[in-house]
Amino acid sequence: MAAAPFARFANADLEEITSTRPTPFYAHDLDGMHAAAADLVASFGNAPHLVAYAVKANSSASVLRTLVAGGAGADVVSGAELELALRVGIAPSSIVFSGVAKTDAEIDRALGAGIASIHVESIEEIARVAARARSLSVRAQVSIRVNPSLAKEAIATHAHVATGHDEAKFGVLADDMPFAFEALAREADAIDAVGVSAHVGSQLTEVEPYVASAAALMTIAQEFRRRFASTMRLVDTGGGFGIDYGSGCPVTPGDFIRAARPLLDRAGLGDLRHVIEPGRCLVAPYVVLVSRVVQTKASPSKPELRWLLVDAGMNDLLRPALYQANHRVAVISGGSGPLRPWRVVGPVCESSDDFGLHALPEEPPRIVCFRDAGAYGYTMASRYNGRALPGELFLRGGVVVHEVGRASDASWVSERLGA
Ligand SMILES: Cc1ncc(COP(=O)(O)O)c(C=O)c1O
């Protein structure tokens, strides 16, 4: 059976688009992202909320503007992401700032902008933020990111993206919260204690770990409210909503909200702003990484070994090398005959530059794409091996509305010559 070609994407003809462009490039379906954001926002009904999109997943301005038009704000983790969010016009009141090691300059920028919350991740950071606020003569809006201390095995995701257990560097341990409360009270002249947050892990394909994390957070949030009733404004249950990378995902992003909302209501916290921090689910399914096949490689003595060498590498899409992620490979053009297993690999000089085994036509395709590549794709790209960063193009209504071409090799050479 021949593979069904994946020629149409976002109502556009990918083969035609690719015919005039160098590869690899990321193609974005902005309409799909807009609908995903609007759907998630709608799942809150009338409850006060903030869908704080995790900018680290995909930071293209076109993506940010699209998600904001769908009703989202931003969760940022660096001064640069904060600056970008502000520059694309996201209201400071719709921005939260997480991160374990914020510099003074980053804290100052957040304080100056007046964002909704600086999510501090340690007791030490409370004093640092207070000191910066005093020196700038402003009041800091501070939430505590809580590490809900779940058992590692209770967080059903890859170990590298599980964050809500004791060995993770993130957040203040639930057991340490009394000390965090004391620190907040001590710094009350400079800090408004606005809430609590938690993020248990990424690519969750069941709601249970999210609910367990939210349940632990609610107990802490109730105590927080008892102590800081006049300033508490939000409860942030984090992101991590999984998507279907090909092996199934029985839950939708809205399911996480529908599971977590009753916890807030039961805890008497339903009037607070319910913040969530989704990244992946708003962008991953709506992007493909398009790549040309450079050549095949076979072993005459070991015919079971067959490689499809493509022009995209781990520098363009790191997830498979970083945490054994699988991205389905689809045919855009070329390819005929029965499906055979091909090991799809890139040009980078590393054994881990390997996208895995994929069933592709015997007569190999000319152009392929890696599906569901919109999260932690371009944002993790590097120039390793002197490779240019991949291009990015953005589709709306079936037409290319914006694009950034792939950089040239020459630009890398001149940059390195200057070092
Ligand atoms: C604090 C925080 N919030 C939100 C996210 C976004 O997670 P996801 O893209 O899985 O929704 C992450 C991801 O690492 C995170 O660390």
List pLDDT tens digits, range 68-107: 999 999 999 999 999 999 999 999 999 999 999 999 999 9
The arithmetic mean of pLDDT across residues 15-21, rounded, is 97
| Residues whose CB falls within 8 Å of the CB of residue 219, separated by 6 or more in sequence, listed in order | 267
Q: Residue 150: what pLDDT?
A: 80
Q: Per-residue pLDDT for 56 more than 90?
A: yes
Q: CB-hemisphere CA count at 13 Å for 33? A: 33
Indicate whether 229 pLDDT > 70.
yes
Judged against a pLDDT cut of 90, whether residue 274 lies above it is answered with yes
Q: Which of the four pLDDT bands, split at 50, 70 and 90, describes residue 411?
A: confident
The reply to whether CATH 3.20.20.10 applies to domain 99-276 is: yes
What is the structure's pLDDT at 407? 83
- Which residue's CA is the nearest one to ligand 1's atom 6? 279
**What's the CATH number of domain 8-28+285-417, 3.40.640.10, 3.30.565.10, 2.40.37.10, 3.40.50.300?**
2.40.37.10
Separation between Cα atoms, residue 49 and residue 236, nearest integer Å: 9
* CA of 284, closest atom in ligand 1: 9
User: Could you identify the residue written with the tokens 């000390």?
Assistant: 179
Q: Indicate which residue of 249, 281, 349, 369 is catalytic.
A: 349
Q: For ligand 1, atom 2, which residue shows the shortest CA distance?
A: 199
What pLDDT does residue 85 have? 98
Ligand 1 centroid – CA 211 distance (Å) = 16
Taken in order 186, 191, 196, 199, the sign of the CA dihedral is: negative
Instruction: Indicate the helix (H) or strand (E) that contains 143.
Output: strand 140-147
Q: Is 98 in the pocket of ligand 1 (CB under 6 A)?
A: yes
pLDDT in tens, 155-169: 556 665 566 566 778
Confidence of residue 316 (pLDDT cuts 50, 70, 90): very high
Query: Would you give the DSSP letter of residue 388?
Result: P
- Sketch the domain layout of the chain as residue ranges: 8-28+285-417, 99-276
Q: How far apart are CA 241 and CA 255, in angstroms?
A: 9
pLDDT tens, 371-394? 999 999 999 999 999 999 999 999
Nearest protein Cα to ligand 1, atom 1: 199
Quick one: pLDDT at residue 1? Answer: 43
Q: Which amino acid is at 171?
A: G
Q: What phi and psi values does residue 313 have, to the nearest 5 degrees?
A: -130, -175
- On the question of pLDDT at 4 being above 80, the answer is no
Contact 292, 23 (CB under 8 A): yes
Looking at every residue in the chain, the average pLDDT score rounds to 95
Q: Is 347 exposed, middle or buried (0-12, 13-18, 19+ CB in 10 A)?
A: middle
Annotation says 349 is catalytic: yes
Q: What is the pLDDT of residue 2?
A: 47
For ligand 1, is residue 277 a contact (CB within 6 Å)?
Answer: yes
Q: How far apart (Å, rounded) are the C-alpha atoms in residues 347 and 362?
A: 21
CA angle 289, 293, 299 (to 5 degrees): 130
Of the candidates 317, 78, 291, 77, the residue with the CA atom closest to the CA atom of residue 199: 77
Query: Bigger pLDDT: 113 or 1?
Result: 113
pLDDT at 28 over 80: yes
Residue 237 Cβ inside 6 Å of ligand 1? The answer reads no
SS3 state at 127: helix
Q: Which of 334, 336, 411, 320 is CA-nearest to residue 373? A: 320
338 has a pLDDT exceeding 80: yes
Count other C-beta atoms under 10 Å from residue 286's C-beta.
27
pLDDT of residue 212: 94
Which atom of ligand 1 lies closest to the CA of 278? 11
Helices (H), 269-337: 280-283, 319-323
Q: Which atom of ligand 1 is nearest to the CA of 242?
A: 10
Q: Which candidate, 310, 234, 322, places its Cα nearest to that of 271?
A: 234
- Nearest ligand 1 atom, CA 241: 11
Q: Which atom of ligand 1 is nearest to the CA of 119?
A: 1
Pocket lining: 231 vs ligand 1, CB cutoff 6 Å:
no
CB 367 within 8 A of CB 292: yes
Between 7 and 413, where is the model more confident?
Answer: 413
In this model, does residue 250 exceed pLDDT 80?
Answer: yes
pLDDT at residue 315, rounded to an integer: 98
Digit-coded pLDDT (tens) for 199-223? 999 999 999 999 999 999 999 999 9
Ordered alpha helix ranges (H), 243-338: 253-266, 280-283, 319-323
- CA–CA separation, 28 and 308 (whole Å): 25
* Cβ–Cβ < 8 Å for 57, 280: yes
Amino acid at 45: G
Instruction: Identify whether the C-beta of residue 129 lies closer than 8 Å to the C-beta of residue 142.
Output: yes
Cα(304) to centroid of ligand 1, in Å?
40
CA of residue 232 to ligand 1 center, whole Å? 23
Q: Helix or strand or coil: residue 263?
A: helix
Mean pLDDT of the region 296-303? 95
Average confidence (pLDDT) over 303-313: 96
CB 196 within 8 A of CB 174: no
* Count of CB atoms situated within 10 Å of the CB of 31: 16
Neighbours of 208 (CB within 10 A): 13
Given a cut of 60, whether residue 300 has pLDDT beyond it is yes
Task: Answer yes or no: is the C-beta of 241 below 6 A from any ligand 1 atom.
Answer: yes
pLDDT number for residue 149: 80
Measuring from atom 15 of ligand 1, which residue has the nearest CA?
Answer: 199
- Ligand 1 pocket check for 18: Cβ under 6 Å: no
Q: Which of 277, 281, 376 is the best mutation target for the ligand 1 pocket, counting ligand atoms within 8 Å of the beta carbon and taking the most?
A: 277
- β-strand pairing of 12-13 with 191-197: unpaired
Q: With a 6 A CB cut-off, is 365 part of the ligand 1 pocket?
A: no
Confidence band of 154 (pLDDT split at 50, 70, 90): low
Non-local CB neighbours of 166 within 8 Å, separated by 6+ positions: 147, 149, 173
Do residues 286 and 32 touch, judged by C-beta distance below 8 A?
A: yes
Q: How many Å lie between the centroid of ligand 1 and the Cα of residue 369?
A: 25
The answer on pLDDT for 263 being more than 80 is yes
Does ligand 1 come within 6 angstroms of the Cβ of 28? no
The answer to whether 275 and 49 have CB atoms below 8 angstroms apart is yes
Answer yes or no: are the C-beta atoms of 117 and 195 closer than 8 Å: yes
**CA 161 to ligand 1: nearest atom:** 14
Distance from the CA of 61 to the center of ligand 1, in angstroms? Answer: 19
| Ligand 1 centroid, distance to 337 Cα (angstroms) | 41
Residue 121 CB less than 6 A away from ligand 1: no
C-beta 377 within 6 A of ligand 1: no
CA angle 71, 41, 394 (to 5 degrees): 50
292 CB within 6 A, ligand 1:
no
**Region 51-80: what's the mean pLDDT?**
98
